[in-house]
Each structure stands twice: as structure tokens, then as C-alpha cells.
Amino acid sequence: MSTGEEDGEPLSPMARVFQLPGNDCCIITVIGCKTKINADVIRSGLNQNVFKHPRFSRKLSRDGLSWIKTQVNIEDHIFVADKDQNEIAEDGELFVEDYVSRLTMIPLDKARPLWDIHILNVKTSDADAVCVIRSHHSLGDGTSLMSLLAACTQTTSHRDKATIPALKRRKRVYKDKISWFVRLIQAIFSSVRLIWNTFVDLVLLLAIAVFLKDTKTPLKGDVGVESSPKKFCHRTVSLDDFRVIKEAMSMTINDVLLGVTQAALSRYLNNFPGKIRLTAGVFVNLRPDNGFQPLADMMAKNSKCRWGNYFSSISFPISICLEADPLVYLSKAKSAMDRKKHSLLPALAFSSTEFIFNTFGAKLGGTLLKRLVSNTTTFISNMIGPTDEISFHGHPIVYIAPSVYGHAHALTIHFLSYAEKMVISIAVDPNVIPSPHQLCDEIEDSLKAIKAALLERGLL
């Protein structure tokens, strides 16, 4: 082993898992711009900034166990798709979708830092050009990569650094009117409930890892789905629609997103016969603070908030049945999320996983993770993006649509709030789900139906 490899930064346990076959995941982010993209400006900007971010200027060691410093040749990481707009005509969206889909079948070169950027100066219905950023999941999770994007951009209004709100975890505040005895009873009840919920969730998680599988529906992939090409699409809706529903129903944005997703999947599977068991994996942020912290704290070597140390995932059944009242989905979602918040499963699952990785190796940990994924149907994630419109070296950004591929799901659904908009990003295996646009339509229609029901009842 060379001296550079000996001095390299060790990969976290989850980063090692993401290098294994069957779990070889990449994050792909499609960014729409208001103007044509000047490739030379992007190259110049990356030359000035890439060395500041260690994971993007390091490559894997030969044994795949550590990150080692390397000289980055920007030309090896930027690709410009030369295509005549007249030749594409009105099929800009189709060209972008096909291009991104083909990328999922081209592996990243592990002899270089595991990322690349593709510039498509193709006009679509909502952007004049598209930039596709692909990075291996072992470089970081979506939260840390979004923090990296914010650190490299400026707001279009004031040219300040982009800002993403960092949310503090809520602390319970007791009113003075509540006596110490009532507080004691509440604490005992809460502790018993916490232990019971954790026990039930842990048993369910183990059952899913060993034998409990979701119903084979038109949304669930077959064996080997992780190796199939993926297709991506997105939809942009108003963030205010989610906010007004949140306020009217006294719930969180995450509750609303889950309720809308349940309604959409129920509509999509309306004609499927029989009872359905459909389980979604939900990523839970276990960092001390919700939201985003400074990039150095999230990605730097030996940071306690380093990706892989404070992230876990949980799975829980989604109710799939067509309800006459769309508000029922919100109530079910809030109940499910409240229960999951009162459980130690995410922290316990992560600690157990870390123990398995360190004791038995990443191969066994990767096998368990793959079984958890393959026995469930989908992943749902939600991230907070910049609150204001941002630009990268003079290129104003219209939307940011992140997604992921390389895991054993035929469907993943990602939500990202950006500049008063909610971007819905969907990734599918086209062999299982031929048209992801239909799912986008179902989500948008479900959101409208829920809002209309609230208006009809005078709750808005």
C-alpha cells in the first residue's frame, strides 16, 4: 500500500456498503437554469472551488477502504452534450430524460473522484438549459450535498451566499398549571409508550429483513431491479399549498407530504385487486440539529456530524385504499409519523448496524441493507433547499430535482423545497412503471383534492 493510502481518510461503514454490488448507489441531481450554461465559466468556478471540498478532490484507495488525495483534472469530470436545438425541436424534456436514463447505466470511474457534471444546453418547458450532477452516495448524503451546493452558490437578489434554514429540535415546554404529579404520570406513560413502540418497530424491521415482503404490485420491482436503467421526472408545485394544509390540519410539512403520497399511490393502485401491503422507507435525520449546519461540520474529516454517523432509515406500512374523503390520508399520515417520532428505532437501528459492520464486516451489513430495501416498495425523502433563488457563477437556477439510483427499488419519491416551490422528483424502473409522469400527476391531483376538501369545509 502506498503512503498516500496509509494516510487516507477511512470510509464510514455506510460508505463501504455503498461500494458493494447491489448497494452501489449514486445521487443524481437535475438542475434547471434560466439561461444557457457557459461551460467555460463552470470549469473556471470548479477549478477555484473543488479543492476546498475534500471528498470531491479524493479518490478511493485500491482496497476501497479509504479516501486518498489526488490531483483533480476538471476536464475529466465535465461533459457537454452538443445537440442542435432545431434537431430536438419540442422534445427537450424527452431528450433530457433519455440522457439522464443512459447515465444510470454508465458507472463512475473509480480511478478518479466519484462525481461528474453534464451540461445540456437544451430548452425544456421550465428551463433554458439543464445541468446534471452525479455523485456516488459514499461521498455524502443528500443533506451534506445540498449544503455543498449552497456553499458554492449565491442568491440572485443580493449576491449573498445561499442560505438554508437550520431547524432546532423541538423541546417540550410544560405549562406552570400542570402539577408535578401529572407530569410524573405523563413521564411514566411516555416512557412505557416509547419502549413499546421501539420494541414493535424493531420486531417489524427484523421481520422485513428476514422474511416479510411487500405485496407484488405494479410499483414493486423484481430481483435485479438495482441494475436496470432508471427514468426520472419532476414536477414543481407551490410550497404555499403545503403550508396552508399544514396550518389548517395542525401538522408538519412531512405529515402533509406523506398524506399526499399515500393518496397518490392509492389512486395509482386503485384497480389492483386484493389487499395490499406497501412499505416505505423514510430517512430520519439523527444529527443533533435538524436542517443544515456549516459544510465543514458535515463533510470534514473526523467531524461528529459526518455523513454515515447520524443517519438511519425506518420502514412503516403505508395505507393503500381509495378513500372517499381525501383528508383521511392526512389523519393516517399524522398518526403514523407521530408514532414513529416516539420510537428509538432509528438510533437503535443505526447503532446495531454499526456494530454489525465493525464486527462482521461491511459485506454482511450490505446484505442486510439490501434485503430491507428489496422487501419494501419505495423510499420517500424530504429535504429543505435554499429559501431564495440561487445562481452558480451567473446561472440562475429554476429548480433542483435530486434523486438516487442503484438500489433495489423500482420507485423512489423525493421532495425538495426551493425558493417558495416544492419540487417533486420521481425515479422509476421503466420496465415496472412505464410512465413516471402519471405518478407526478397523481401527486399533484391528490394535493389539489386535499386542498379543495379543506376549502369546501371552510378550513382554509
pLDDT tens digits for 422-439?
A: 999 999 999 999 989 999
Residue 89 confidence class, pLDDT cut points 50, 70, 90: low
Q: What CATH number is given to the structural domain containing 424? A: 3.30.559.30
- What range does the domain containing 130 cover? 9-155
Of 143-152, 190-199, 306-315, 439-448, give the lowest mean pLDDT range.
Answer: 306-315
| Interatomic CA distance for residues 427 and 409, integer angstroms | 9
| Interatomic CA distance for residues 32 and 254, integer angstroms | 25
Non-local (6+) Cβ contacts of 351 within 8 A are none
Residue 97 identity (one-letter amino acid): E
Q: What CATH number is given to the structural domain containing 141? A: 3.30.559.10
Of 18-22, 148-152, 271-275, 289-293, give the lowest mean pLDDT range.
Answer: 289-293
- Crossing angle of helices 327-341 and 436-456, in 10° steps, is 100
Cite the active site residues. 137
| Interatomic CA distance for residues 265 and 439, integer angstroms | 8
401 is written with which cell numbers?
A: 430535482
Q: What digits encode the pLDDT tens for the residues 323-364?
A: 778 899 999 889 888 888 888 888 888 788 778 888 887 788
| Interatomic CA distance for residues 139 and 19, integer angstroms | 11
Residue at 252 is within a domain:
yes
Same domain, 146 and 292: no
Question: What is the per-residue pLDDT for 160?
Answer: 62
pLDDT at 175 over 60: no
**Element containing residue 203 per DSSP (H, E):** helix 180-210
Same domain, 39 and 94: yes
| Interatomic CA distance for residues 257 and 237, integer angstroms | 12
Number of domains in the chain: 2
Residue at 162 is within a domain:
no
Residue 85 confidence class, pLDDT cut points 50, 70, 90: low
Same domain, 275 and 143: no
Of 6-20, 222-236, 323-337, 376-390, give the lowest mean pLDDT range.
Answer: 6-20
**Mean pLDDT, the chain, integer:** 84
Of the candidates 156, 76, 154, 79, the one whose C-alpha atom is nearest the C-alpha of residue 121 is 79
3-state secondary structure of 147: helix
